[in-house]
Structure 1
């Protein structure tokens, strides 16, 4: 019986910064294969890719094994949800139509008798004011149309270049965890939830707040961590790669 839910975030496929786990995309494929028998739900809480953009007749072939593994997991009976992150917000209809994976900005789910609210977490901290302005610029319909007119190979190369530089610029950013917890606590109350699951800040943890519990799976770059939910309880796990 499929009775376990799994949550991961911030995989950032398409880039391998210093200290990244070697072969982590194939490790993710093995992880997806390993949960087929138990997974009732999989929620990817944003930034699965370092960059994602859809064209009418183009899908990045570098991630074929992963895309196939997601479809196989979906076909096994697992309900899969994908949240937009700050790196991969430009999803079209490829995931829902081709893979059966629902895409959301934010998500409410009932799992194992618990009510959960999911959001990637970009822009929720007060200190992310500059990012909120930049996001509006990047997501402006005209700008997305102009980017679509660039040849896909050039567009992907440009996106990776910008991503590398923004990553370097963000290395000195101080994570103000209390801002995330305050926002999550308010949304637990607003949506009447037991859990609020966030990503974005790359810090794994489970925190008790006034109106419920806040959790984060961490990241899948330097550590292959994820959240496991069984019998209504969340725990943090790390995927162990077999030799």
Structure 2
């Protein structure tokens, strides 16, 4: 069994999501061969050197899972693209490139966070190119922690404000870009998160039937895509009530 999740946006202010995730690790992920986390695992990440006790707690939980034999793979999202190898070593997980082609159940599958598919949002794409530039990443990682925290709050607030103001079509993926990346990587299945619009889309690329699977975000409920001998199934589940 293989499990894929994304967009948990873990933070101390949402203990309900944290409890649900820890339960998910204990009860479901422990039975899986692999767990893939496709970005925006944390609501914000200012650098491995700025990890909070809460973030260390999550790393410990992942390490405990990895020690049972479940392989854990993590991909950057737009909120936590500064996660580095120090966190991955502590958590016992492997950092994936975005995009990344993997073999799942004998099929080549393209995994992405999904934000790079939203090319109609030109302002966001400009900001993404700026922030992901190697020089920008170097500068960000070497800013004082207080400055990084201030910048993270500013970017998060601006993102929330701009998203509310943008048309739905702008904040969703661009169909032509989906077709382009699927054709480029020669795959029939694309799995991504980011848009918070869980669904399975049947498409045609180069005359071939393909599918785009969008992972659900964890907010009012949790989501996980499970791949096993029965096929693929994504289903929501209730967040754990407060003890």
Please state which band the TM-score falls in when normalised by the shorter chain.
0.7 to 0.9
Instruction: Give the gaps of 5 or more residues in structure 1.
Output: none
Q: Is the 8 A contact 2:192 2:213 kept in 1?
A: yes
Structure 1 residue 11 corresponds to structure 2 residue 8: yes
**2:66 aligned counterpart, secondary structure:** helix
What do residues 64-83 of structure 1 show as CA deviations (whole Å, max 9, x unaligned)? 33211211121111121111
**155, 164, 167: which one pairs with 1:162?**
155
The residue aligned with 2:74 is 82
2:62 to 70, 73, 79: 70
Taking the TM superposition and a 5 Å limit, the aligned residue runs for 1:13-28 are: 13-14=10-11, 23-28=16-21
CA RMSD between the two structures: 2.5
Q: Which residue is 1:208 aligned to?
A: 202
- The reply on whether 1:194 has 2:188 as its aligned counterpart is yes
More displaced 10-residue stretch of structure 1: 127-136 or 197-206: 127-136
| Contact kept? 1:227, 1:235, Cα under 8 Å | yes
Which residue does 1:173 correspond to in 2? 166
Secondary structure of the structure 2 residue equivalent to 1:90: coil
1:230 paired residue number = 228
Relative to structure 1, the CA distance from residue 235 to residue 153 in structure 2 (aligned partners, 3 Å threshold; closer, same or farther) is same
Tell me what 1:126 maps to: 119
2:103 pairs with 1:105: no
Q: Alpha-carbon deviation of 1:24?
A: 0.7
Unmatched runs of 5 consecutive residues or more in structure 2: none
- Between Structure 1 and Structure 2, the one with more helix by share is 2
Are the counterparts in 2 of residues 123 and 129 from structure 1 also a CA contact under 8 Å? no
Local SS of the residue matching 1:85: coil
TM-score by length of 1: 0.84
**SS in structure 1 of the partner of residue 79 of structure 2:** coil
Equivalenced residue count is 235
TM-score normalised per structure 2: 0.84
